[in-house]
Amino acid sequence: MRRDLLKAMLGLGATLALPRMAVAETIARVGVSARDLGALDPAFGIGNGDEFAIRQIYNTLVSCPDGTELIKVDQLQGELAETWNMSPDARTWTFRLRQGVQWHKGYGEVTSEDVAFTLRRMADPKVGSQYSSNYRLIQQIDTPDRYTVVLHLSAPSPFIYATAMMPRFGGYIQCKKAVEELGDKYRLNPVGTGPFEFVSYDPKQRIVTRSFEKYWGGKPRLDRLEVLFLSETASRTLAFVKGDVDMIEGATVPGWYPSLRKQMPNVVFDFGRPGGTFTMFINMTRKPLDNLKVREAMAHAVDQSVWQGAFGDFVEPMYGISPQGFYGALQKQDIPAQDWPFSFDPALSRKLLAEAGLPNGFSVDVFISEREEYKTNLLIVQEQLRKVGIQINMRLVDHSSYHADIRKDLNALIIYGSGQPPLTQAVLNAFYDSRAIVGKPTHNMNFSHFGDVAGNVDALIDQVNRETDDARRIATLKQIQFEILRQVPVIPLPSPAGAWVRNPRLDVGFPVHAFMGTFTLGKARLV
C-alpha cells in the first residue's frame, strides 16, 4: 500500500514539481533519512544524517578527489595536509599540514598538535569511538614542528589513510582546545575547519550551519546549509517535490527511482559509487549449510538481474566480495565462463540439492531486520530459492536487535549491508579473516565462519595488507577472492549506490560519483 501511495504521490507531484522548486537564494536545505542527530563529534557520529553534517563542518587530512572514490595514494587530494609521504616499508607516514587554516568560532590555527590529539583520541578505548580499531596500527605520533605529523605504525599499512584519515570513518581532525574546553558539550557543539560552521541543532528537526568566512578553500557560495531530519519517505519525497528541500536522500523502495526518473526527468540523481557491500553470508556451521553442494545450489538459484529490474540504476551487479568500484574488486571479465558457483542455473541448483541428499529441498529459519533494504533483499532471495525447493522461514526483528543477535551467531543466513572504505582488503579484514569470526574475542563480522570452516586465507590477507607493490597486491587480492568464493560462504547481492536526488538549481560544483558524505558542499551554489 505504501509503495502504491508513493507512486501515486510521485505521479501527482510530477506535474507541479519543477517549475515551482524555488528556494531562498543562498540557503540550501538537505533532507536526510534519519529521525534525529546522533552526534556531531566525529568520534561518535553514525548514519547518513550525522555523516553528512559532520562532513560539512570538518576536514580530514586527505580525501578522494571531489565527487569520486579514487583511493590510491597518488590519486588523493589534500585537505588539511598539503603533502603526504609513505616510507618504502609502509611503516612510517609523514603529513605536512597546510598553514594558516583556522578553526571555527575563533579557536585559532590548526597545528600538528591538533592532529596528534585527534588520532590519539580516536584510538583511545576510554573515549569509546566505534572507529577506534581503525587506529590500532598507529604506535607512535611525532610532531617535530607546528605543521608536521609523523606516524609510526606497528605493521606496514599502505592504506592507513583510507580508514583513519579520510571522510566517513571518523578521520576528521578535531580541535584539541575545543574538545578539552567543551567536554561532553562537544558532542553537539562541533568546532571544525570545514566550509560550514555549526549554528544550531533543533532536536528531531534540523541542524543549521552557516558559511565559514575564513574557510581555507575560499568562502562558500551558500550562505547557509540546513540539514533536515525527514525519516518518512513520503514526507521527504513530497517536501522535495514541492521545493521545500533542495536535495534528499533516496529511498530503497522498489520502483521509487524508476518512477521518479520517469516522471521528473530534470531532477539530478546522484548515485554514489562504488556502492555499499550488500551480501548474504551463509553460516557454514549450520546443517545443511555446512555442505558445499547445498551452498552451491543456493548460489546457482540466485539471479542478480532481478534486482536491476526492481531498482534500476540504483544497483549494479557485484561479482566478488566487494562492489565493482572497490580497489581490487573482481570484475565481470575476471569471472570464469564455466564452473562458476554463482552463475544463475536453477536446473543445476536442483541437481546439486539432489546430490546433497535433499531432492525435495529444505527449509531454514532466518530472522531479518525490519529495515527496508534488508527486508527487501531477503524477500527477493526467498522467492528465488523457493523456486528450487529451498524455503526460507522469515521473521522480522527490529534493526538494533538484528545487529545484536547476528553478532551472537544466532542466524543461519545473514544479510549484511556495510559501508567500507572502497578497498577489497577492508572487506576481507572485516568478513573473511578467521580472527574476525563472530563469537571470538577478536571478533568482527565474519558471520560465515570462513577460516575455521571451509578454507582459510588469513596468511594471504596479512600479506596483502602489507604489500606495497600495486600489481602484486591486485593479483593477491584476486587469488584470495577466488579461494573464498569457491567455498561459497557468501552470496553476493547487487551493490546499492549511495543515492540522493537533487534539484537542478543546486549545483554541487563537480560531477558526483561518490557517496554524499565523502565531499563537502563548499563549492555548491544555487543557480
Partner 1 sequence: MAGYILRRLLELIPTVLLVLTLVFLALRVLPGDPAIAALGEYATPDAVASFRQKLGLDQPLWAQYLSFVGDAVRGNFGRSMINGTSINALLLQNLPYTIELAAAATLIGVVVGIPFGAAAAVWRNHAPDMFSRVFALAGFSIPDFYFGVLLLIAFSLKLDWFPMLGGGQGLLDGLHHLVLPAVTLGVVMAAFVMRMTRSALLEVLRRDYVRTARGKGVPEQWIVFKHALRNALIPITTGLGIYLLTTLSGTITVELVFSRPGLGQLLIGGITARDYTMVQAGLVVFAFCVVLVNLLTDLLCALIDPRVTLR
In the complex, the residues that contact partner 1 under the rule CB under 8 A are: 1, 5, 9, 12-13, 16, 20, 35-39, 44, 46-47, 125-133, 184, 187-188, 203-205, 228-232, 234-235, 238-239, 241-242, 244, 397-401, 403-405, 418, 441, 443
- Spatial separation of the C-alpha atoms in residues 104 and 106, rounded to whole Å: 6
Residue with Cβ nearer partner 1 (188 or 348): 188
Residue with Cβ nearer partner 1 (20 or 472): 20
Which residue's entry shows cell 609502509?
A: 90
Q: Are 251 and 308 in contact (CB under 8 A)?
A: no
Residue with Cβ nearer partner 1 (232 or 313): 232
Q: Are 332 and 492 in contact (CB under 8 A)?
A: no
Q: How far is the CB of 129 from partner 1 (least distance, A)?
A: 6
Which residue's entry shows cell 560550514?
A: 196
Residue with Cβ nearer partner 1 (37 or 488): 37
Q: How far is the CB of 230 from partner 1 (least distance, A)?
A: 6
Residue with Cβ nearer partner 1 (12 or 24): 12
Residue with Cβ nearer partner 1 (223 or 405): 405
Cell numbers that stand for 137 in this block: 596500527
Q: How far is the CB of 8 from partner 1 (least distance, A)?
A: 8
Secondary structure percentages of the chain, helix, strand, coil, to 5: 35, 20, 45
Q: How far is the CB of 82 from partner 1 (least distance, A)?
A: 30
Q: Are 484 and 476 in contact (CB under 8 A)?
A: no
Q: Give 25: exposed, middle or buried? Use CB within 10 Å, 0-12, 13-18, 19+.
A: exposed
Residue with Cβ nearer partner 1 (4 or 74): 4
Q: How far is the CB of 422 from partner 1 (least distance, A)?
A: 16
- Spatial separation of the C-alpha atoms in residues 413 and 380, rounded to whole Å: 14
Largest CA distance in the chain: 72
- Spatial separation of the C-alpha atoms in residues 240 and 21, rounded to whole Å: 8
Residues in the chain: 527
Residue with Cβ nearer partner 1 (147 or 367): 367
Which neighbouring-strand residues pair with 249? 500
Q: How far is the CB of 21 from partner 1 (least distance, A)?
A: 12
Residue with Cβ nearer partner 1 (359 or 439): 439
Q: Which of 491, 499, 480, 396 is nearest to 432 (CA)?
A: 480
- Spatial separation of the C-alpha atoms in residues 65 and 511, rounded to whole Å: 11
DSSP string across 502-520: E-TTEE-SS---S-GGGS-
Angle subtended by helix axes 2-14 and 233-242, to nearest 10: 0
Q: Are 518 and 502 in contact (CB under 8 A)?
A: no
At residue 437, the 3 state secondary structure works out as strand
**Terminal CA-CA length for the chain:** 37
Q: How far is the CB of 167 from partner 1 (least distance, A)?
A: 15
Q: Which of 482, 478, 480, 512 is nearest to 498 (CA)?
A: 512
Q: How far is the CB of 170 from partner 1 (least distance, A)?
A: 10
Residue with Cβ nearer partner 1 (46 or 73): 46
Q: How far is the CB of 199 from partner 1 (least distance, A)?
A: 16
Residue with Cβ nearer partner 1 (113 or 202): 202
Q: What amino acid is encoded at 115 in this protein? A: V
Q: How far is the CB of 429 from partner 1 (least distance, A)?
A: 12
Q: How far is the CB of 10 from partner 1 (least distance, A)?
A: 10
Q: What amino acid is encoded at 478 in this protein? A: K
Residue with Cβ nearer partner 1 (12 or 155): 12
Q: How far is the CB of 407 from partner 1 (least distance, A)?
A: 8
DSSP string across 141-204: EEEEETTEEEEEESS--TTHHHHHSSTTTT-B---HHHHHHHGGGGGGS----SSEEEEEEETT
